[in-house]
Amino acid sequence: MSKRTRNPLDKLDVMNVPGFSTYQRLNEAFIDKVAYWILLASVAIGFLVAEILRYWMNAKISVTAVFIVCIVVVGLSAYRIWRNISQIKAIKLGWKGEVATGQLLESLRNSGFVVLHDVQTDNHGNIDHVVIGPSGIFAIETKTISMPVDDKAVIQVGQDDQLIIDNQNVNYFKGRHPLNQTRTSAELLSQMIWDSAGRKMQVIPVLVYPGWWVNENPNCDVMVLNPKRFVTLVHSMPTCLSDADIRTIENNLIRVLRA
């Protein structure tokens, strides 16, 4: 009789890495929107090849009918793949942006900051990054978008939360607006800290665009900037949390995340 076994990693408290949720979305999107159709087209082509071989062996079948069916299936599969490939590329770009931002934020650990990635918020999705340090608590959302080849494009926040990207006003559905999403992340993190530590703490919403030059707007309640700029700026902000505060918030937050 064989011995019962268990996963050796079950008792390890492994926190998420940068971009973990987005990477899962990337895999799911590829399987649902691309891999399925590649498999279907491959089966159709294989079936056609088999029928052609049978025809050459003088079997009584209608190769024309099989050929038509195969063309329809392959054509449909190619169309679906072409239609979804842009979404796959966008998710992949977003994942790379989260990883790049996460790597930049990791350098803050050397200055006494706590850095968490892909923080799950029950049924409300996830917060890309959380930074807790002497200068405060930050909920960070990463948005990675393609930029012009000339590398001179600028992002800025105009009036009424209008995002201006490369001199063009970008319109978003209310629930998908990056500024609103970032504010929601900050509110959720503040609630998580309240639930875990019984303390009402201000959480600063931060929206970062990797690779872009961002004209910062001091009148906006959301910090919108390049992640490299955030790493530099956060060191010069006034101290508002002690080391004891930082460790207490970290321990209680991690306890909730691992529950």
Write the pLDDT tens digit of every residue in 84-123.
777 777 778 888 888 889 989 999 999 999 999 888 887 7
Q: What is the mean predicted confidence (pLDDT) over 32-44?
A: 65
- Does 71 reside within a domain? yes
* Spatial contact of 147 and 167, defined as CB atoms under 8 Å apart: no
* Spatial contact of 171 and 193, defined as CB atoms under 8 Å apart: no
Q: Which pLDDT does position 37 carry in this prediction?
A: 63
Scan for tokens 């087209």, then name that residue: 41
Report the C-alpha gap between 138 and 115 in whole angstroms: 10
DSSP letter assigned to residue 3: P
* Spatial contact of 29 and 91, defined as CB atoms under 8 Å apart: yes
Q: What pTM was estimated for this model as a whole?
A: 0.74
In terms of domains, do 137 and 37 share one?
A: no
- Does 99 reside within a domain? no
Q: Three-state SS for 107? A: helix
In terms of domains, do 87 and 164 share one?
A: no
Final residue belonging to a domain, choices 60, 94, 128: 94
Q: Three-state SS for 234? A: helix
Q: Residue 234 is encoded by which pair of tokens?
A: 């956060």
Beta strands per DSSP E along 9-86: none
Is the pLDDT at 48 greater than 50, yes or no?
yes
181: containing domain? 108-257
Is the pLDDT at 7 greater than 60, yes or no?
no
- Report how many domains make up the chain: 2
Is the pLDDT at 17 greater than 80, yes or no?
no
DSSP letter assigned to residue 149: T
Final residue belonging to a domain, choices 94, 122, 141: 94
In terms of domains, do 85 and 199 share one?
A: no
In terms of domains, do 225 and 122 share one?
A: yes
Report the C-alpha gap between 22 and 24 in whole angstroms: 5
Report the C-alpha gap between 232 and 55 in whole angstroms: 71
Residue type, 172: Y
Q: Three-state SS for 63? A: helix
**Mean pLDDT, all residues of the chain:** 79
pLDDT tens, 201-258? 899 999 999 988 899 888 899 999 999 999 999 999 999 999 999 999 988 888 887 7
- Does 65 reside within a domain? yes
Scan for tokens 């978008």, then name that residue: 145
Residue 233 maps to which CATH number?
Answer: 3.40.1350
In terms of domains, do 131 and 187 share one?
A: yes
* Spatial contact of 98 and 144, defined as CB atoms under 8 Å apart: yes
Report the C-alpha gap between 235 and 110 in whole angstroms: 11
Q: Give the phi and the psi of residue 17 in degrees, each rounded to 5.
A: -95, 165
In terms of domains, do 68 and 136 share one?
A: no
